[in-house]
Amino acid sequence: MNYTRSVFLVWLVCSCIGVVAQPAHADTAGYLRDIRIELQKKWPANRTINLVFHGHSVPAGYGRTPEVNIFDSYPYQVLRRLKQLYPYAVINVIVTAIGGENSTQGAQRFEKEVLIHRPDVLFIDYALNDRKIGLQKAKENMEDMIHKALQQNIPVILLTPSADVNVPLLQAHNELEQFADQIRQLAAKYGVGLADSYSMFRQVEEKGEDIHVYMAQSNHPNAMGHALIAAEIMRYFQP
């Protein structure tokens, strides 16, 4: 039984019998161990690894709208970094993200347009746009997608929102922080991976740097901003 399935079943059993455990999102060392092993294999023992990135305009690569800078986006920055670490690996990056979409729309097309790609790892990034639908509906949508992925033994990595320059990141309980906290809680509840994009951008402001340097427009990162997100994701892929 793989790591993802084991964590999900432990959570399910504990919930049913009323056991309260300290939640924690998946650890970076153990969560994708099987995938890292596959990435190290050489032909003819290797196989294609499908990384599926689901979400809104940020993973889709939108910069200054309507420009779409695919090769600056974090899915492709992750691909470049992975190929440096794993030169023999065959890796498909599949982006199912749509600009302007929220998790309601993403959940509606999840089975037909996401799971159909048979992800080896699934990344979900909707929190930035989910402000339009509110915390409760966003939680319901995210849990729906998480459940469906875990039922198929697909490892999931949830992303907290990237920056919006109109939101004061250093202000306690700002709207992005509320969604970031909810994503962290979901990652802990289900024992899935977490890429904390929000914390990376918040650290920029904590250091006194100008957040605009990392942004293509108010709510879309540029290549430097995407690099912050890619670095967070790569913690799960270190050999």
Three-state SS annotation for the chain: CCHHHHHHHHHHHHHHHCCCCCCCCCCCCCCCHHHHHHHHCCCCCCCEEEEEEEECHHHHCECCCCCECHHHCHHHHHHHHHHHHCCCCEEEEEECCCCCCCHHHHHHCHHHHCHHHCCCEEEEECCCHHHHCCHHHHHHHHHHHHHHHHHCCCCEEEECCCCCCCCCCCCCCCHHHHHHHHHHHHHHHHCCEEECHHHHHHHHHHCCCCHHHHEEECCEECHHHHHHHHHHHHCCCCC
Q: What is the pLDDT of residue 24?
A: 84
User: Is 15 a residue whose pLDDT tops 50?
Assistant: no
Q: What is the pLDDT of residue 2?
A: 53
User: Is 164 a residue whose pLDDT tops 70?
Assistant: yes
Neighbours of 128 (CB within 10 A): 25
What domains sit in the chain, N to C, each tagged with a CATH number?
A: 3-11+34-93+103-160+167-234 (3.40.50.1110)
Higher pLDDT, 12 or 193: 193
How far apart CA 214 and CA 225 sit, in angstroms, is: 4
Q: Is the dihedral of CA 176, 182, 186, 191 positive or negative?
A: positive
Q: What is the pLDDT of residue 183?
A: 98
Instruction: Tell me which residue of 105, 175, 173, 167 sits closest to 137, measured CA to CA.
Output: 105
Higher pLDDT, 138 or 22: 138
State how far the alpha carbon of 54 is from the alpha carbons of 19, 27, 216, in Å.
33, 21, 21
Window from 3-7, 105-109, 184-188 with minimum mean pLDDT: 3-7
Q: Tell me the per-residue pLDDT of 89-114, one tens digit each, with 9 for 90 and over.
A: 999 999 999 999 999 999 999 999 99
Q: What is the pLDDT of residue 23?
A: 62
The answer to whether the beta carbons of residues 107 and 145 sit under 8 Å apart is yes
